[in-house]
Amino acid sequence: MRVLGIEGTAWAASAGLYDSEADDVFIETDAYLPESGGIDPSEAAEHMHNAIPAVVDAALAEAADRAGEDEPLVDAVAFSRGPGLGPCLRIVGTAARSLAQTLDVPLVGVNHMVAHLEIGRHRSGFDSPVCLNASGANAHVLGFHDGRYRVLGETMDTGVGNSIDKFTRHVGWSHPGGPKVEEAAKDGEYAELPYVVKGMDFSFSGIMSAAKQAYDRGQPVEDVCVGLQETVFAMLTEVAERALSLTGSDELVLGGGVGQNERLREMLAAMCEQRGADFFAPEPRFLRDNAGMIAVLGATMYEAGQTIEIEDSRIDSDYRPDQVPVTWREDESVARIPTNAADGDELRGAEATVEIDGDRVVKRRAEKRYRHPELDERLRRQRTTLEARLTSEARRHGVPTPLVREVDPREATIVFERVGDADLQAALTAERARAVGRHLATLHGAGIVHGDPTTRNVRVDTDVERVYCIDFGLGFYTDAVEDYAMDLHVFEQSLDGTAEDPAAMREAVEAGYAAAGDEAVIEQLREIESRGRYQ
């Protein structure tokens, strides 16, 4: 089978050909490089208009070389339907429709972000990996659950590449900035910047403002570049590790243009090595935007019968990966139900190892080799101190938590009372989800944010029906409604990624919250969910 793919969501006017028998991918790309500033949507669209015909011709010529006599040139035409810049997507959509009609073959509408993920799965041969997409306009971790690629965590503001590109524009470097930051960082020293992770979500705007200010104050630009890479990539690596821990998966693939960065790949590889997971990053030509990945996913979707009629093929500039029904995969889930640990067991979370010792558990935040030593030391110390303090304070406000027996911030170790007989993930019911809602409302009422409420960070005592909150390491004090709503959002995302009936569970959490907390927080949650994140 041969499938022709067309990509043109932003900067890459690209056509590709996937030959499934040879498992060979041909890619022809004509890149748009803005003369000054960042990507301008109308200039980019003009580039698409001018460049798409020639790259498509190159892919067709390749198809003609490969097609036998009396064979059709290709079996299907696939194109990026979104997300991306509307004016660019429309040009590519029109080109793809007319080509499919001329060749009289079916049309396949591909989600560009799912294509970034599937090319990694295809090239690695991994079965059910977690995927980190680190691209220009996006940044998210995806896991397969219940027939869809679920967004386990994502940027709450701009995409990772665009954030870096904004910094480089500020210092007067030309687009794209990512490779320039990578080059400059080779000669710099680590500079401290804010580190912002909320469960598996994260944001870049605070870091970027701090980086610009540091530069404006006269800090050497190469040092700021080291700080940026060390901070931003450690955040991405940390959320990828959290996703592995939450889902129980031991395979990670990388996608997106920022994945070309060697330091990011080194960190992800080190993280996976330390936790005994397998890591795969496709070659650079498959990481940056390219039509090869569109053709490969197009072929998979075509085989699964997921083609579209011309009249249904309009583009969608906000197309989210979890909108795509994944009919080409067995309905298995990446989430594995954890079993309860026995005495003497050592559990590995994302951040720490937890040793079960009779009625005590010893939690140790081991050194993370992927992180810069200064950042690593700072995070482990801060989080240990905060976790001990917030765990105790939450209990004083009436939220069940384990007793804290000993704390050693220098060794990043806490000894807790052992609580519950199951993680919520293995014992989820609507009643228990409601209890989590109530607990979060009580915490917020006391000005405390949990920071990482997931189905693995709640323990259940099934004998006496008691629901405990654990793992306050990302917690903090605040009176901001936005932070309270983010807490609920993080918990609901973990339900979407792992629960059998997420909708009912979400409802239960919100009912529990509404009974004990502030309605304004639920309203803010709706606002967070409706935010367009592709900027």
Chosen from Fe ion, ligand TXA, ligand ATP, none, partner binding at 106 (C-beta under 5 to 8 Å by type): none
Please confirm, yes or no, whether 24 is among the known catalytic residues. no
Cβ(249)–Cβ(501) under 8 Å?
A: no
Least distance between ligand ATP and beta carbon 468 (Å) = 7
82: left (phi over 0), alpha (psi -120 to 50) or beta: left
Cβ(425)–Cβ(247) under 8 Å?
A: no
Angle (nearest 5°) at CA 469 between 447 and 348: 125
Chosen from ligand TXA, ligand ATP, Fe ion, none, partner binding at 351 (C-beta under 5 to 8 Å by type): ligand ATP
Count CB-CB contacts under 10 A for residue 45.
Answer: 20
Q: Which of 201, 452, 471, 496 is the catalytic position?
A: 452
**What is the three-class DSSP state of 107?**
strand
Count of residues making up the chain:
535
Choose the stretch contacting ligand ATP; rule: CB under 6 A; options: 255-263, 371-379, 417-425, 506-514. Answer: 417-425
- Tell me which residues in 420-449 interact with ligand ATP (CB under 6 A): 420, 423
**What is the three-class DSSP state of 377?**
helix
In the complex with Fe ion, the residue whose CB is nearer, 63 or 315, is: 315
Chosen from ligand ATP, Fe ion, ligand TXA, none, partner binding at 237 (C-beta under 5 to 8 Å by type): none
- Interaction of residue 349 with ligand ATP, rule CB under 6 A: yes
- Interacting residue with ligand ATP among 175, 363, 372, 432 (CB under 6 A): 363
d(CA 56, CA 46): 16
- Interacting residue with ligand ATP among 288, 372, 432, 459 (CB under 6 A): 459
- Interaction of residue 93 with ligand TXA, rule CB under 6 A: no
Chosen from ligand ATP, ligand TXA, Fe ion, none, partner binding at 91 (C-beta under 5 to 8 Å by type): none
Count CB-CB contacts under 10 A for residue 97.
Answer: 18
Least distance between ligand ATP and beta carbon 387 (Å) = 8
Residues 235-274, one symbol each (x = binds ligand TXA by CB under 6 A, - = not), give ---------------------xxx-xx-------------
Residues 6+ apart with CB under 8 A from 84: 8, 9, 10, 112, 137, 317, 534
- Interaction of residue 30 with ligand TXA, rule CB under 6 A: no
- Interaction of residue 470 with ligand ATP, rule CB under 6 A: yes
Query: Where are the strands (E) in 56-95, listed by range?
Result: 76-82
- Interaction of residue 14 with ligand TXA, rule CB under 6 A: no
The answer on whether 451 is annotated among ligand-binding residues is no
d(CA 362, CA 381): 16
Choose the stretch contacting ligand TXA; rule: CB under 6 A; options: 49-57, 161-169, 191-199, 498-506. Answer: 161-169
* DSSP line for 71-126: S-S-SEEEEEEESS-HHHHHHHHHHHHHHHHHHT--EEEEEHHHHHHHHHHHHH--
Cβ(298)–Cβ(82) under 8 Å?
A: no
Q: Which of 6, 75, 58, 18 is nearest to 313 (CA)?
A: 6
- Interaction of residue 10 with ligand TXA, rule CB under 6 A: yes
- Interacting residue with ligand ATP among 19, 62, 165, 351 (CB under 6 A): 351
Residues 6+ apart with CB under 8 A from 262: 182
Least distance between ligand TXA and beta carbon 164 (Å) = 6
The answer on whether 134 is annotated among ligand-binding residues is yes
Least distance between ligand TXA and beta carbon 487 (Å) = 27
d(CA 173, CA 66): 43
Choose the stretch contacting ligand TXA; rule: CB under 6 A; options: 47-55, 94-102, 136-144, 196-204. Answer: 136-144
The answer on whether 135 is annotated among ligand-binding residues is yes
Exposure string of 154-184, with b = 16+ CB inside 10 Å and e = fewer, is bbbbbbbbbbbbbbbbebebebbbbebbbeb
Instruction: Note if the bond before 373 is cis, omega within 30 degrees.
Output: no
- Tell me which residues in 264-323 interact with ligand TXA (CB under 6 A): 288-289
**What is the three-class DSSP state of 317?**
coil
Count CB-CB contacts under 10 A for residue 21.
Answer: 8
**How many Å separate Cα 97 from the centre of its chain?**
31
- Interaction of residue 419 with ligand ATP, rule CB under 6 A: yes
Return residues touching ligand ATP (CB under 6 A).
242, 245, 347, 349-352, 354, 361, 363, 402, 416, 418-420, 423, 456-457, 459, 470-471, 473
Q: Residue positions in the annotated binding site for Fe cation? A: 112, 116, 289
Give the residue numbers marked as catalytic. 452
Annotated binding site for L-threonylcarbamoyladenylate: 133-137, 165, 178, 182, 261
Residues of this chain that interact with ligand TXA (CB under 6 A) are: 9-10, 83-84, 112, 135-138, 159, 161-162, 164-165, 176-179, 182, 256-258, 260-261, 288-289
